Amino acid sequence: MRFIILIVILLALIGWFQRLKKNVGRDRSSSNDSSFYGAMPGSAALGPTAAEAMVACTHCGMHFPVSEAITDSSCAIFCGSEHRRLHAS
């Protein structure tokens, strides 16, 4: 009788360990998907574009990155040389 009880307890423990292993594996894979693989492309995409300041064209009012800005002698900002010429005339 004691032998049967021991077998039942052993089987229950084996089942419990197998379930625990599966859950840990699932948790690791899901956390990798959301944090590691999820954060990498997002941070890479946000990096240069989010950091760059935006300015508005004096002529048409369009917003564009400050690195593409063209200024005239009065420090007015334009989206291109065409709008700088049109604004001057």
57 binds Zn ion (CB under 5 A): yes
Which one among 9, 39, 45, 60 touches Zn ion, defined by CB under 5 A?
A: 60
Distances 14 to 18, 19, 43, 69, 84 between C-alpha atoms, Å:
6, 9, 42, 68, 77
Closer to Zn ion at the Cβ: 27 or 82? 82
84 binds Zn ion (CB under 5 A): no
Q: Quick one: which of 70, 72, 69 has its CA closest to 88? A: 72
By beta-carbon proximity to Zn ion, the closer residue of 29 and 74 is 74
Residues that bind Zn ion (CB under 5 A): 57, 59-60, 79, 83
